[in-house]
């Protein structure tokens, strides 16, 4: 994973991790240099009408 993150950053790309479901995984991804994360640990899914 670290090599993929490094390669993306070398190519001036941001890295997004999906389906992050625990604080431990989120912490590890941060240490690896992942730029953004999405998943249950960040925010639970919600209905579309609650976003508008």
For residue range 6-41, list pLDDT tens digits in order.
999 999 999 999 999 999 999 999 999 999 999 988
Find the distance separating the first CA and the last CA of the chain, reported in whole Å. Answer: 35
pLDDT at 31: 98
């Amino acid at each position: 994973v670290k090599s993929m993150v490094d390669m993306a950053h070398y190519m001036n790309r941001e890295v997004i991790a999906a389906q992050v479901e625990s604080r431990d995984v989120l912490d590890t991804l941060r240490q690896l240099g992942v730029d953004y994360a999405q998943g249950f640990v960040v925010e639970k899914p919600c209905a579309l009408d609650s976003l508008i």
